[in-house]
Structure 1
Amino acid sequence: MRRVLSAVTLSVLAASGCGTTAKQTATPASASPGAASAAVAPIAWGACTDLVRPDGAPPAKPDPGTTCGKLKVPLDYAKPDGETIDLALIKIAATDQAKRIGSLVFNFGGPGGSGVDTLAQAAKSFTTLGARYDLVSFDPRGVERSSGVRCGGSAEMDAFTSLDTLPNDAATRAAGQAANRRFAELCQRDSGKVLPYIGTVNAARDMDRIRDAVGDAKLNYFGMSYGTQLGAVYATQFPKNVGRMVLDAPLDPTVSFEQRTIAQTRGFQQAYESFLKACVQEGCELGANAKAASRAVGKLMVTLTAQPLKVGTRELTQGLAVTSVAAALYSELSWPFLEAALGQAIAGEGDAMLYLADSYNGRNADGTYSTQMTSFPAITCVDSAERPDQATLDRTEAAALKISPLFGSAGAGSLCTVWPVPGSDEAKHVDATGSGPIVVVGGRGDPATPYQWAPKLTEQLKTATLVTYEGEGHGAYLSGSKCVKGLVDLYLLQGTVPKEGATCSA
């Protein structure tokens, strides 16, 4: 449940209204990044209809001027002349070619979000930047069209995503542990070949090859959520290749699983309380005051553990209901939809709640899944050598449940304990000394990447300037703040770095 997802993906959603397994040896993370700077062939851009997901779906309704392509990169950077994989890319050409600056590469978050799909859906949110930049994004290795990690089929994914988190008892925990073991076994079975070679360190090396392939001397980059860690790792590996870089909704890569779980649980609980307060101020159908509304939601969750709601041939479980609430808390734009969805569920109609959960989990209308839920643990577990023991997991869960009975859990650490490949801590150490100026944007009301991570990442980079957004939601650039958008656009278009201590009101 505790996932760092794309700010763009959830903003698009809101705007629409609506186990023990065989071990493998991973490539040493310290393998020289220099291989990423080897000669790279230009990308043959063509029709996006030729770039389909494993389920056969092309990018969703790309704008005119959109092209797609593939780039071969080494599966194992320790063997640069060995086996390769294809990265899937998308490009929306600058509309003012006479004033074109170059390419602006996006990673919208996850880890595990498809940049190809997200840019196709969200391009209109970046029209100012798209006048002078070619907007470029990609599916990182292990994601969707780029050797996406798969862990079973639709039935297995439905079972995994619908698991209840309540009641907090031995039976629930045992069911979760068994599900994690089975999930890890399926990932090994279906994607074992690529599992040791994904992760942020190799994705950053891939990104330098993208920079070379699009013909840019320096990488201009916009990273959101998890994309901030990818950008920070890139700037650490290739500081002299950094052009203009924005990191919005930043992660602190140094936090442990326990620290991340506690911080995000607190962030989601605070966002939930803000939602309830806003709801009752405008006449909330969930209750006359915040406490009454919260009790109604709590009662719904307890009811769903005993009797899930039928939605056609499916069921809205308590686990899916919690996921739907979390999904809607990423953006204030989706709060009215959440109020209506909760009200309908309390009245016995679970369609809207299930829609929110499916959007968060990457479940398509035909029952197939994107790699969103499978790429996330694959990247997260490879990016850390930490494998929490049971005592740590129990302590983390107890602390999280004290903060929020609704959102408290042991986080991703419980799955990484049974992950089939070891991890590395290289992606946790960032230092961009020698790079050009980087802009970090942190929001005080961000539930998924709490504000305290923003100044920490800024300090670790050593070449960054922090912009603070005082409002709610995951990600500031797409929050509707003209102040944030103005500062970021000015920097990316003209190179003007915001002043130290720059702050934008909600």
Structure 2
Amino acid sequence: MPNPSRPRAAVLTATAVLLSSLVAGCGDGSQDEDLTAQKLSWKDCPAPSQSEGGGNAPSPLPDGDEWQCATMQAPLDWSEPEGDRIGVALIRARTSGPDDRRIGSLLFNFGGPGGSGITTLPAFGEDYATLRTRYDLVSFDPRGVGRSAGVRCQNDEQLDAYFQQDMTPDDAAERSTLLDDTKEFNAACEKKSKKILPYVRTTDAARDMDLMRQLLGDDKLHYFGISYGTELGGVYAHLFPKNVGRAVFDAVVDPTQTPEQGALGQARGFQLALDNFAEDCTSKTEDCPVGDTPQEVKDRIATLLKTLDAEPIPGVFPRELTQTAATNGIAQSLYSKDFWEYLTEGLQQAYDGDGSILMLLSDSMNGRNENGEYSNITAANVSVNCADDRARYSVAQVERRLPEFRAASPLFGDFLAWGMVGCTDWAVPGAADHPDVSAAGSAPILVVGNTGDPATPYEGARKMVAALGQGVGVELTYEGQGHGAYDSKNKCVRAAVDGYLLNGRPPTAGTVCS
């Protein structure tokens, strides 16, 4: 799922042009025999590493079956498959149905980029119980994430300071500080992770997925991609169209956008979600505790953020709730309608001088646990985006675009616009302006767009369908709120997705669920 402190976290990553000649020559070719001959050794899963978010080993599934984990060896550099190797961590739950009904493995990527599939799949495993009747459910930490040669940058204490910085500078001194802090973070990534940084592009992860397909014993890759996972799936389909099985893209990234266009789209998306929250709160029969009208709700939030810019309030001790942390926490609460009650409570608290709830929401977005330890989601997120994206934005370029961003979102515009400087002085050149997801010859891919999605705006689904090419993308619309559609548990969406993945029958293109 995207992190608005980095405007294109899972909104747009790009195909690696540096490997384009290799891809064109061997997209459907055979892998190195040593790689495809390896056997995955499945064992009980350990507790997640700190890089994956920490916590306990995954609990058994409702039927008592245990989650199993394995490590796949992949080339560090896919252009030199006989060179250095990295381990790619996988997790699976074997199918709950009879063997004669098993279709194969269903591979999940939940987005980010930078999210750990090792921790996310067990957390949501029950939501996919129906799919498990015919599939082994499988996910992974993509390269650069968690246990898969995870990128390391700053330590926990440094990250606390990094996320307290003012990410919406108002004057030259604040702009200089933001750039200095960004360069310091990026330099730490280069110092600690120099070897892996050139090899975390989306195309690298897509090639890893095709190796997984072979080691899992599947002729076709059956795939469920969410958020950035839709872009990863689109890049896979471009590289290996003949190997695509039944695939679903949910919460769809627009593959046609530059980083700037993606950030602007998110500004509009989060503003729409905030508008919907304000309308929902004030339309209930009881009084809305954070405003009497939708406009008053938004005006009071704007006033709060302006106040916090000058004078933070107590957050999670010993840290204070800054303007940046509050904006980040508000954005996190807009990912799901289920979180709106926490936003309401957090705003009430903040108006009374207590910023703890909004800071906890911000911590969740940034991958910080209650012990003050960070996963590597931010490090991985920045690394993938900066390796994928060719664009490098200057202060002058951001300042020229600020009026348009502010028009798109008075609340989130500055926040997302200034995030575009995140790849300043990155150690690895960006690969492309946007990815190539054209996939002529691929099996149908079900593309699900949510009209109220803040992080991957609805228009991206139609753009993905067009980019995949004629006869590939099948568009399904969900008229709802939050990031994604399947996990909303909407019966119409579930029936359409399950019907395709389980029975091979996609819904009629243009189907609308509400």
Q: TM-score, length-normalised on structure 2?
A: 0.91
Matching residue of 1:416: 423
In structure 2, the CA distance between the partners of 1:47 and 1:376, relative to structure 1 (3 Å rule), is same
Matching residue of 2:392: 387
1:49 is paired with a residue of what secondary structure?
A: coil
Amino acid at match of 1:302: K
Kept in 2: contact 1:27–1:197 (CA 8 A): no
Q: Which among 287, 291, 304 is matched to residue 291 of structure 2? A: 287
Partner Cα distance (1:413, 1:5) in 2 = 11
Matching residue of 1:96: 97
2:22 is paired with a residue of what secondary structure?
A: coil
Matching residue of 1:454: 461
The C-alpha deviation readout for 1:333-384, integer Å capped at 9, x for no partner, is: 1111110111111112222111111111101122111111111111111112
Kept in 2: contact 1:43–1:71 (CA 8 A): yes
For structure 2, the residue ranges without an aligned partner over 5 or more in a row are none
1:234 is paired with a residue of what secondary structure?
A: helix
Amino acid at match of 2:461: A
Q: Map residues 302-341 of structure 1 onto 2, 5 A cutoff.
A: 302-310=306-314, 311-341=316-346
Q: Map residues 371-386 of structure 1 onto 2, 5 A cutoff.
A: 371-386=376-391
Q: Which moved more, 1:467-476 or 1:218-227?
A: 467-476
Partner Cα distance (1:185, 1:213) in 2 = 37
Is residue 375 of structure 2 the alignment partner of residue 364 of structure 1? no
Matching residue of 1:61: 59
Is residue 40 of structure 2 the alignment partner of residue 43 of structure 1? yes
Partner Cα distance (1:431, 1:6) in 2 = 19
Is residue 427 of structure 2 the alignment partner of residue 430 of structure 1? no
In structure 2, the CA distance between the partners of 1:248 and 1:504, relative to structure 1 (3 Å rule), is same
Matching residue of 1:159: 161
In structure 2, the CA distance between the partners of 1:56 and 1:109, relative to structure 1 (3 Å rule), is closer
Partner Cα distance (1:430, 1:353) in 2 = 37
In structure 2, the CA distance between the partners of 1:29 and 1:59, relative to structure 1 (3 Å rule), is farther
Tell me how far 1:175 sits from its aligned partner.
2.0
Partner Cα distance (1:397, 1:29) in 2 = 34
Q: Map residues 466-505 of structure 1 onto 2, 5 A cutoff.
A: 466-505=475-514
Partner Cα distance (2:272, 2:45) in 1 = 41
In structure 2, the CA distance between the partners of 1:194 and 1:58, relative to structure 1 (3 Å rule), is farther
In structure 2, the CA distance between the partners of 1:493 and 1:56, relative to structure 1 (3 Å rule), is closer
2:371 is paired with a residue of what secondary structure?
A: coil
In structure 2, the CA distance between the partners of 1:292 and 1:428, relative to structure 1 (3 Å rule), is same
Partner Cα distance (1:326, 1:413) in 2 = 17
Kept in 2: contact 1:37–1:208 (CA 8 A): no
In structure 2, the CA distance between the partners of 1:380 and 1:166, relative to structure 1 (3 Å rule), is closer
In structure 2, the CA distance between the partners of 1:277 and 1:171, relative to structure 1 (3 Å rule), is farther
Tell me how far 1:5 sits from its aligned partner.
6.4
The C-alpha deviation readout for 1:257-290, integer Å capped at 9, x for no partner, is: 2111111101101110110111111221111112
Tell me how far 1:295 sits from its aligned partner.
2.2
In structure 2, the CA distance between the partners of 1:94 and 1:145, relative to structure 1 (3 Å rule), is same
Tell me how far 1:50 sits from its aligned partner.
6.7
Matching residue of 2:452: 445
Tell me how far 1:65 sits from its aligned partner.
2.4
Is residue 143 of structure 2 the alignment partner of residue 138 of structure 1? no
Amino acid at match of 2:46: T
2:224 is paired with a residue of what secondary structure?
A: strand
The C-alpha deviation readout for 1:50-80, integer Å capped at 9, x for no partner, is: 7644586554435332101100000001110
Tell me how far 1:304 sits from its aligned partner.
1.6
Partner Cα distance (2:39, 2:353) in 1 = 55
In structure 2, the CA distance between the partners of 1:400 and 1:384, relative to structure 1 (3 Å rule), is same
Partner Cα distance (1:338, 1:323) in 2 = 12
For structure 1, the residue ranges without an aligned partner over 5 or more in a row are 8-24
2:487 is paired with a residue of what secondary structure?
A: coil
Tell me how far 1:308 sits from its aligned partner.
1.7
Partner Cα distance (1:97, 1:27) in 2 = 45
In structure 2, the CA distance between the partners of 1:125 and 1:266, relative to structure 1 (3 Å rule), is same
1:243 is paired with a residue of what secondary structure?
A: strand
Amino acid at match of 1:76: D
RMSD: 2.1
The C-alpha deviation readout for 1:161-184, integer Å capped at 9, x for no partner, is: 222234633333222211111111
Tell me how far 1:30 sits from its aligned partner.
3.6
Kept in 2: contact 1:252–1:454 (CA 8 A): yes
Amino acid at match of 1:97: P
Partner Cα distance (1:388, 1:4) in 2 = 13
Is residue 22 of structure 2 the alignment partner of residue 31 of structure 1? yes
Q: Map residues 168-207 of structure 1 onto 2, 5 A cutoff.
A: 168-207=170-209
In structure 2, the CA distance between the partners of 1:335 and 1:76, relative to structure 1 (3 Å rule), is same
1:273 is paired with a residue of what secondary structure?
A: helix
Q: Which moved more, 1:477-486 or 1:158-167?
A: 158-167
Tell me how far 1:388 sits from its aligned partner.
2.7
Amino acid at match of 2:363: D
Tell me how far 1:291 sits from its aligned partner.
2.0
The C-alpha deviation readout for 1:276-330, integer Å capped at 9, x for no partner, is: 1111112211111122222221222122222222232222111111000000111
Q: Which among 339, 342, 347 is matched to residue 342 of structure 1? A: 347
2:46 is paired with a residue of what secondary structure?
A: helix
Partner Cα distance (1:375, 1:406) in 2 = 27
Q: TM-score, length-normalised on structure 1?
A: 0.92
Kept in 1: contact 2:452–2:481 (CA 8 A): yes
The C-alpha deviation readout for 1:73-115, integer Å capped at 9, x for no partner, is: 0000111011000001100111113322110000001011001
